[in-house]
Every structure is written in C-alpha cells, then in structure tokens.
C-alpha cells in the first residue's frame, strides 16, 4: 500500500502519528518509526529548545528510521520561543516538521534551507491551498472529527478530504476520525495519499498515558467528546468530563477566557495522563473514540490496519466489484 506520501518521506505505510502535546515523546514516536509509519515528537512538550534537542537524540537512539517533529504555533499570551524551537529542529537534522496552528509562510524557507520538509496540518480547503502556495511539501487535512483544533468551519472528512484533494497537487494525508483499515481505505478512495491519527495512537501501550485513561478511552463512545472554546472562535475537541462541561457552561453564559484559564491550563491537563484521573483537566480526544476497543502496541495496531486493509480489498471490495 505504497503511495507517493510514503516515497516522499521514506516510510513503509501511508500513516502518520500526529504531534500530541504531553504524549508525543520518544518512546511513542520511535515505536511508530519502527512500525513503518511517520511519527512526530511534540516540540512544545519539551520545556525548552535544548530539551527538544535531547529528546530528538533519545528518539534516534531507539530507531534508525525517519521521524519528525511537530511545531504547533497558537495564539498565546506568553508565546514560547518559537524561533528557537524552529532552529533546534533544523539543527537536529530531522527530515520533516509537522507545522500546525498558524500560516507556515515565514517558517517554510527556514526549514527548506535547513533541508527539512514541511508537512502542514490545516482544517480548511482555503488554508490547504494557501499552504501549497507558500511551498509546503505536503498537507495534512484535519476534519471536524479530529481531536484538538478542528477550526470553525465544521466540515467533516467525507466532504473536506475530496474537496481538498480537488484543490491541491502536493501529497495530502487525511486526518480526523481515523483508527482502522476501513478509514485508511476510505481516505485513499477520497483522494488522500494516507492518513494521520492522534486519538487512536493515544490508546496504545507505548503512549505515556496512565492505564486508567486508556481504559476510559476503550469504554468511551463517539458521543464522549466535547467542543470547548467555541464562543472564543478557538474551538478544541476534548474528552467530555467535569472540567469540559464547566468550561462550556462558563463561556456559554458570557464568561471570558480569564474565567476558564485555570480550568484549561496545560499543567492540569498533563496531570490527567500522569495520575489517571480523567476529570483532573482538559485532554484532547476525537470522535474516533467510538471505534477504539483495545490497547494494542503500536506495531500491532499498524499491522492490523494494513492486514485488514488488504483483506477488505481482496474480499469485500473485490466481491462488490465483480
Ligand atoms: C492528546 C492529543 C494531543 C494533541 N496535541 C496536538 C498538538 O500539540 N499539536 C497539534 O498540531 N495537534 C495535536 N493533536 C492533534 C493530532 O495531532 C491529530 O491532528 C488529531 O488527533 C487527528 O484526529 P484524531 O484524533 O481523530 O486521529 C493532539 C491530539 C491528541 C489526541
């Protein structure tokens, strides 16, 4: 199941592990690389650019295969030193960066001069077109189903993916709601060159997340996420819990960001993964929760997706075609 996306990034299967705050660490990303897919370390999970350099080195000790770094640029009152993180990525010699959150225009030339390919994640056709225009190498198009930031247009993948495929020529992977072989084949049929997954990889043995949270994900259904920050036009899809409900209630009744700042703090969210208390803070999860029924290793998951994709092609689709 090789696509031009595999050829561009030198990977075996057309699957990526998207950058995940607090979760995209060396163990998970190296496991993805060893399974033949492209994983992204989360740059901002590391407290400083120097720590990111060390994390990249740690990941290299665990795998010889390619992996990348995610750099998420979001509006922030105290922005992290993005340029220093960018420089750390360039100097570490990783082959690819996954940019997200903002227009990549000012970053693309710097990455390209440093020999780093840019995979830009965006949530609308117009942003995909703009990203292609400013020279990104590939696009990851994230539908309304996704964990994290789905944007404000609310267009699910079934329409967003083919619409984006019609509009751009660079390799494109589909993101948001993917977790199994059926999703992979659907994405390829819709015109994508592969899939990106976050939530599904969050529920694997190597994800640095407390077992109780993984058990909660297995129990959860597609009804168990919540959209927060809608009134602020900075929507995020997270696991529905006591905190997400409070945030929605406060903002819907006219509250401002200041009123929820403490509830949504990253420090509280990271404690969810460490303590295993799902109600401790905000943690991202997508609608694909409804398709997650176990906690496999990354290798088992990838192998299952590829094997089942082949049997769907050989059996179900073959029968339908004849
Ligand atoms: C726990 C978690 C943390 C995430 N953190 C980030 C992040 O820091 N930056 C980013 O670009 N995307 C982040 N994402 C989004 C993923 O990279 C990916 O785009 C998304 O999960 C795809 O949708 P899916 O969850 O339905 O597979 C996060 C997702 C999860 C589940």
**pLDDT tens digits along 189-220:** 999 999 999 999 999 999 999 999 999 999 99
Mean per-residue pLDDT, 18-30 = 98
Q: Residue 74: its pLDDT value, please?
A: 85
CB within 8 Å of 19: residues ≥ 6 apart = 40, 41, 42, 43, 69, 70, 71, 72, 98, 100
Q: Residue 321: its pLDDT value, please?
A: 87
Q: Residue 322: its pLDDT value, please?
A: 84
CA distance 147 to 130: 23
Which two tokens mark 271?
A: 């404690």
Nearest CA to ligand 1 atom 19: 18
> Can you tell me which atom of ligand 1 is nearest the CA of 177?
26
Mean per-residue pLDDT, 117-129 = 98
72: Cβ below 6 Å to ligand 1?
Answer: yes
Q: Any bridge partners for residue 172, and if so which? A: 139
Mean per-residue pLDDT, 239-260 = 97
Q: Residue 132: its pLDDT value, please?
A: 98
User: Is residue 314 packed enough to be buried (19+ CB in 10 Å), middle (13-18) or exposed (0-12)?
Assistant: exposed
> Can you tell me which atom of ligand 1 is nearest the CA of 200?
27
Of the residues 147, 234, 235, 305, which should be mutated to test ligand 1's pocket, given the most ligand atoms within 8 Å of the CB? 147
| Domain residue extents for the chain | 4-209+296-321, 225-284
Of the residues 82, 120, 175, 284, which should be mutated to test ligand 1's pocket, given the most ligand atoms within 8 Å of the CB? 284
288: Cβ below 6 Å to ligand 1?
Answer: yes
What's the pLDDT band for 169 if we cut at 50, 70, 90? very high
Q: Tell me: pLDDT of 77 over 80.
A: no
Q: Tell me: pLDDT of 76 over 90.
A: no
CA distance 229 to 249: 11
147: Cβ below 6 Å to ligand 1?
Answer: yes
151: Cβ below 6 Å to ligand 1?
Answer: no
270: Cβ below 6 Å to ligand 1?
Answer: no
> Can you tell me which atom of ligand 1 is nearest the CA of 202?
31
> Can you tell me which atom of ligand 1 is nearest the CA of 42?
8
Q: Tell me: pLDDT of 33 over 90.
A: yes
CA of 132: how far to CAs of 47, 105, 120, 262, in Å? 31, 10, 9, 37
What's the pLDDT band for 122 if we cut at 50, 70, 90? very high
56: Cβ below 6 Å to ligand 1?
Answer: no
Nearest CA to ligand 1 atom 6: 20
Mean per-residue pLDDT, 71-78 = 84
206: Cβ below 6 Å to ligand 1?
Answer: no
20: Cβ below 6 Å to ligand 1?
Answer: yes
Average pLDDT value over all residues in the chain: 97
Nearest CA to ligand 1 atom 18: 198
pTM for this prediction: 0.97
Q: Residue 269: its pLDDT value, please?
A: 96
18: Cβ below 6 Å to ligand 1?
Answer: yes
CA 39–ligand 1 middle distance (angstroms): 12
Q: Tell me: pLDDT of 75 over 80.
A: no
Share of the chain above pLDDT 70, in %: 100
Query: Which fold is adopted by the domain 4-209+296-321?
Result: TIM Barrel (3.20.20)
Nearest CA to ligand 1 atom 20: 198
CA distance 164 to 172: 8
Q: Residue 30: its pLDDT value, please?
A: 98
Q: Tell me: pLDDT of 1 over 80.
A: yes
Q: Which of 102, 131, 129 is nearest to 117 (CA)?
A: 131
40: Cβ below 6 Å to ligand 1?
Answer: no
Query: If you compute the radius of gyration of the chain from its CA atoms, what whole number of angstroms results?
Result: 19
Mean per-residue pLDDT, 297-322 = 95
């Amino acid at each position: 199941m090789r696509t031009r996306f595999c050829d561009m990034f030198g990977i075996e299967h057309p699957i990526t592990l998207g950058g995940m705050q607090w979760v995209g660490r060396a163990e998970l990303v190296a496991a993805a690389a060893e399974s033949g897919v492209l994983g992204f370390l989360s740059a901002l999970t590391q407290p400083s650019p120097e720590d990111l350099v060390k994390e990249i080195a740690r990941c290299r000790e665990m795998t010889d295969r390619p992996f990348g770094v995610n750099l998420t640029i979001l509006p922030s009152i105290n922005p992290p030193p993005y340029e220093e993180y960018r420089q750390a990525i360039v100097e570490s010699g990783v082959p690819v960066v996954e940019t997200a959150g903002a227009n990549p225009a000012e970053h693309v030339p710097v990455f390209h001069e440093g020999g780093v390919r840019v995979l830009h994640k965006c949530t609308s056709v117009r942003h995909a077109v703009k990203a292609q225009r400013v020279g990104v190498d590939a696009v990851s198009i994230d539908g309304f189903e996704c964990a994290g930031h789905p944007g404000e247009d609310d267009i699910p993948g079934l329409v967003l993916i083919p619409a984006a495929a019609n509009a751009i020529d660079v390799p494109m992977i589909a993101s948001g709601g993917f977790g199994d072989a059926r999703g992979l084949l659907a994405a390829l049929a819709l015109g994508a060159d592969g899939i990106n997954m976050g939530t599904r990889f969050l529920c694997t043995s190597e994800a640095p997340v407390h077992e109780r949270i993984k058990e909660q994900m297995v129990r959860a259904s597609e009804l168990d996420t919540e959209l927060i920050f809608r009134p602020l036009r900075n929507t995020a899809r997270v696991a529905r819990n006591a905190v997400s409900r409070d945030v929605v209630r406060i903002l819907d009744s006219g509250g401002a960001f200041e009123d929820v700042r403490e509830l949504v703090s990253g420090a509280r969210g990271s404690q969810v993964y460490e303590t295993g208390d799902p109600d401790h803070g905000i943690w991202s999860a997508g609608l694909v929760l409804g398709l997650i029924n176990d906690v496999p290793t990354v290798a088992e998951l990838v192998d299952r997706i590829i094997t089942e994709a082949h049997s769907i092609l050989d059996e179900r689709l073959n029968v339908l075609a004849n």
